[in-house]
Amino acid sequence: MFVPDHADWTYEVGETVQIDVSVRKHYVAIPDLDITYEWGMEQHEPRETGTLNTGKGVRSLVLKGASEPGFMTCKVTAEVDGRVYSNYINVGFEPQKIEPTAQLPSDFQAFWEKAVADARETPLESMMTLQPDLCTPFADVYHVRFQNTKPGTYLYGMLSVPKKEGFFPAVLRVPGAGVRSYSGDKSFFPEHDVITLEIGIHGIPVNLPTQVYADLRENALSRYNTYNNDDRDLYYYKKVYVGCVRAVDFLCSLPNVDTERLAVYGGSQGGALSVVTAALDKRIKCLSAAYPALAEIAGYYHGRAAGWPKIFKNPDEVSLENKVRVSEYYDVVNFARFVTVPGLYIWGYNDQVCCPTSTYSVFNVITAPKQLLPVLDCAHWLYPEHAAMQRNWLLEQLTK
């Protein structure tokens, strides 16, 4: 366990850090135990290593701070009863001053405006199929399908609609990474009447048997986040990003949706897609993004920590520089520059999947109204109360 000497885990650049370290069994600090520690910039080789004894149970590490804005990691390892245990803590150094490495292509906006316009030449031709087993006393749930970037390419999702008559706000829930089924986002029921659309991104129905998704995860879609990432027009995420706008098109086609009250939210890959959707579609009135992925994609290439999917951690040298250039068209940092609506952003300092160096790079370039909820000890997850805060914030925005 770690107790830093700053309660907010945040320091000035160059400031010395003191961390009290203990190894506990049944909540009791173990005395006279040899432990090893590592200290260095986030996701990089440690610059300091050492061994010390816990003495009476708690020892203080005094560590040299970072020389520039960013995050540093302290990792401790100990052997107890023949087993090796480890834990880590990330502390920040003026994270509000982190600047991204991702460069904005000169034709970024034109590229995405054309991509969306080209897709809209294809009619939605939507279909809705009631799912009686997923309905509740308050909401009807439909499996939906609509065309995406060209005829015969589809997006699928689960639409939840209040059973009562009326004109309702709508929320688009965009998914985290992976391949799975969906049952509809009913977290806004029964207390609040909000239409919700929960989409998949892979162009396959979202109500198939579980084994289908398991097979796809291990085979055809095992590394979808890298497919064609040397070609900006063929990269897998092009149809995904455009598909999120098409999902908004679908919502706006429904007669009971109040198109003046639309929101988008998600976590990880879904956090990224929330930012992308809000940047590309000005009908979105607010967003909430938890630990957004696909940020600082080429961080490792530039000697920095990178967010998921960490494509360049062990890069293939073939077309490397071209892949870096392509990544800039898909980096969430560059979409964040064009967000114009209020946003709530949530992440933890200890996230090693979408590291805070990358998520702060997103937050720091946003000029729209923004609120950050740092949940310091969280890794790549949220506590239930913070998920509830996210939902309540969205509701507040939609009812203004």
Domain range for 357: 108-398
Residues 300, 335 within the same domain: yes
Query: What pLDDT band is residue 314 in, cutting at 50, 70 and 90?
Result: confident
Residue 119 makes CB contacts below 8 A (sequence gap 6+) with: 148, 149, 150, 242, 245, 246
Instruction: Report H helices in 209-280.
Output: 210-218, 236-253, 269-280
Residues 71, 195 within the same domain: no
Residues 284, 179 within the same domain: yes
Domain boundary residue among 65, 97, 129? 97
Lowest mean pLDDT among 16-20, 318-322, 370-374, 379-383: 318-322
Q: Are 176 and 192 in contact (CB under 8 A)?
A: no
Which CATH number do you get for residue 40?
A: 2.60.40.1930
Residues 176, 69 within the same domain: no
Give the integer Cα–Cα distance in Å for 394 and 392.
5
Q: Is residue 379 part of a domain?
A: yes
Give the integer Cα–Cα distance in Å for 171 and 145.
17
pLDDT of 318 higher than 80: no
Domain boundary residue among 97, 123, 144? 97
Give the integer Cα–Cα distance in Å for 79 and 218.
35
pLDDT of 188 higher than 90: no
Q: Is residue 103 part of a domain?
A: no
Q: Is residue 73 part of a domain?
A: yes
Q: Which residues are catalytic?
A: 268, 351, 380
Lowest mean pLDDT among 70-74, 249-253, 318-322: 318-322
Model pLDDT for residues 137-176, shown as the tens digit of each residue: 999 999 999 999 999 999 999 999 999 999 999 999 999 9
Confidence at residue 316, expressed as pLDDT on a 0 to 100 scale: 72
Residues 233, 170 within the same domain: yes
Average pLDDT, the chain: 96
Model pLDDT for residues 52-84, shown as the tens digit of each residue: 999 999 999 999 999 999 999 999 999 999 999
Residue 140 makes CB contacts below 8 A (sequence gap 6+) with: 130, 160, 161, 163
Percent of the chain with pLDDT over 70: 100
pLDDT of 317 higher than 80: no
Q: Is residue 17 part of a domain?
A: yes
Residues 82, 121 within the same domain: no
Query: What pLDDT band is residue 247 in, cutting at 50, 70 and 90?
Result: very high
Q: Is residue 11 part of a domain?
A: yes
Residues 222, 292 within the same domain: yes
Residues 221, 93 within the same domain: no
Q: Is residue 102 part of a domain?
A: no
Q: What is the mean pLDDT of residues 357-379?
A: 97
Confidence at residue 313, expressed as pLDDT on a 0 to 100 scale: 84
What's the Rg (C-alpha) of the chain? 23
Residues 70, 166 within the same domain: no
Residues 76, 127 within the same domain: no
**Residue 149 one-letter amino acid:** T
Which CATH number do you get for residue 347?
A: 3.40.50.1820
Specify the pTM: 0.96
Confidence at residue 187, expressed as pLDDT on a 0 to 100 scale: 85
Farthest CA pair distance, the chain: 71
Give the integer Cα–Cα distance in Å for 116 and 111.
9
Residues 262, 135 within the same domain: yes
Q: Are 188 and 391 in contact (CB under 8 A)?
A: yes
Model pLDDT for residues 276-286, shown as the tens digit of each residue: 999 999 999 99
Confidence at residue 133, expressed as pLDDT on a 0 to 100 scale: 97
Domain boundary residue among 55, 78, 97? 97
- Looking at the structure of the chain, the number of domains it has is 2
Confidence at residue 142, expressed as pLDDT on a 0 to 100 scale: 98
Confidence at residue 197, expressed as pLDDT on a 0 to 100 scale: 98
Residues 254, 374 within the same domain: yes
